Amino acid sequence: MCGIIGYIGTKEASPILLSGLKRMEYRGYDSYGFCFLNDGKASLFKRVGKIDNTEKEFLGKDFVGQIGIGHSRWATTGLVTQENAHPHCDCKKEIFVVHNGIVENYKELKAKLIKEGHIFESETDTEVIAHLIEKYYVNNLEGAVGKALRDIRGTYGLAVISTKDPEKIVAARMSSPLIIGVGVDEFLVASDPSAIITRTRQIINLDDGEIAILKKDGFCILKEEKEAQKNIETIDWDIEQAEKGGYEHFMLKEIMEEPSVIEDAMRGRLLEDEGLVKLGGLESVQDQLRKIDNITLIGCGTAHYAAKIGEYMLEEYANIPTLTDIGSEFRYRKPIVNKSTAAIFVSQSGETADTLAALREMKAKGVLTLGVTNVVGSSQSRETDAGVYTRSGPEIAVASTKAFLGQLTILSLITIYLGRQRDMSIVTGKRIISELMKIPELAREILKQKNEIKKIAEKYKNCRDFWFIGRKYNYPIALEGALKLKEVSYVHAEGLAGGELKHGPLALIDENCPTIAICPTDSVYEKMISNIEEIKARKGKIIAIATVGNEEIEKIADDVIYIPKTLEMLTPILSVIPLHLFAYYFADSLDRDIDKPKNLAKSVTVE
């Protein structure tokens, strides 16, 4: 959720850390800070608010030093104050810590440290770590960090520097993402690859329980006090992919990339003549997959809606009983699973805390675990038994759009893969693949309507309540459409299964509460028309998402956005695109901070 950046090398650290922190602004934050070491002295700078507001002040300080750490904080424990901003330090201001995560037992640790004479300056849980390191420091920083972490219960990604051991950065991870960047005569530590991509594409992903010691002339990674051998991986995207490319906001850029994301997710994976798909990430478990007789799909937020659509696909076409659950709920249930269960975890970042907790619970029960994620080397991708990458590229806007399309595409491929292992015929496999291959171009046809969608969004800009309704495959799309509108515009919106209207929500319908009805020409179209008529009878406004050629819908809807015809199971890939555009243009008409909506962060790495 928050951002960590650290640098040690032969260059001045301050511009590198400032640039890295700015590249993580999309994650959301409310305060930030830096600490630099030079000639055994520390320089500390912490401020509340956005970097842009105080960047001139920071640059005016002319910080000197070739080693430093920085952090952007999203308040959890403690208010948004300068004192609570990171880095935090010990009593003597010799040890400095930046930290993502939660120290669950910080209150008892803090009380004990205070009794021992330690003086605290903040309300945060993180400051406890600095004082513990101070308590245990004897000869070297990494030894003190290791002892301090043994006292902590919770999660952490952290970086530590000290005037007492000024030629190194010590970094550690437990259930919070952290990577090491390997450059030329320099090393970096960060919680997000975007922070270091301008310096290096060579990275090492830290695993839980590992401690990294970075020096100017090399690095070492320890696991249980023994040196661990780690592979250097290459980031498979470049900085141009993370730039706006002429668009006003990353969200719009990423929506416009959706057709390419669909293509990339399918590239090299379709065997059209055989009605099969090739998923290299599942080859190691293909025999186990033949034996499963039920599936559980787990995700949070937008990923949960993608999983719900996957549930419909897998049951209808792969003939496998499938359940979907929210990560934050699943982890507290007592799920009934067995050796014939497979669990599929869906996450854009692969670092979603609740999804990872559910993953670990399922692994402990001996369940086969699969992942659908976008980030190579993420915790989820390393901890699942097997998985498939969405290949969506960097997604910067907090509101996920193109990654959702990647997830839906991959779930379509997994459906074919598992279906053809069972009773799906070659004819059905070929038909789905044939239609999938058309989807990118059909998506581009929808994007050509962006100006018309913009006009519709601006028409309703004064409304403060919306309903989104859909059925079957498009019920989760109603949920996704409502979520996007809430996220970026801050207006109230609710997604609903169309058949649930008469069970209460109709009471809220009036001329000031529009409904976006997702009603393509499919197996539940007539039912959706019945729901629309219920709304119209109560003077509600209707914005319909309908199939090209359906002119009858114009007689009952106030506005219509058309999508091309495709297979019913693939319709959600198309029907969600106009909803993404609607949310974007609606928020833009209200002059919202679209890429960094208030109160939200890109990757939810804490519970």
Q: Which residues are catalytic?
A: 2, 602
Question: Cα dist. 278→20, 219, 388 in Å?
Answer: 37, 39, 11
d(CA 503, CA 470): 15
Q: At 241, which amino acid appears?
A: Q
- Buried b vs exposed e over 184-219: b needs ≥16 C-beta within 10 Å? eebbbbbbbbbbbbebbbebbbbbbebbbbbeeeeb
Q: Which two tokens stand for residue 62?
A: 């002319």
- Give the total residue count for the chain: 607
CA atoms within 13 A on the CB side of 237: 17
Spell out the residues 6+ positions from residue 218 whose beta carbon is closer than 8 angstroms to its own: none
Sign of the CA dihedral running 361, 362, 363, 364 = positive
Three-class DSSP category at 479: helix
Q: List 322's β-bridge partners, or say none.
A: 295
Spell out the residues 6+ positions from residue 136 whose beta carbon is closer than 8 angstroms to its own: 143, 144, 147, 148
Q: Which long-range contacts (CB under 8 A, 24 or more apart) does 247-254 make?
A: 248/588, 249/397, 249/584, 249/588, 249/594, 249/595, 250/26, 250/396, 250/397, 250/595, 251/397, 251/399, 251/401, 251/488, 251/584, 251/594, 251/595, 252/584, 252/594, 254/395, 254/396, 254/397, 254/401, 254/402
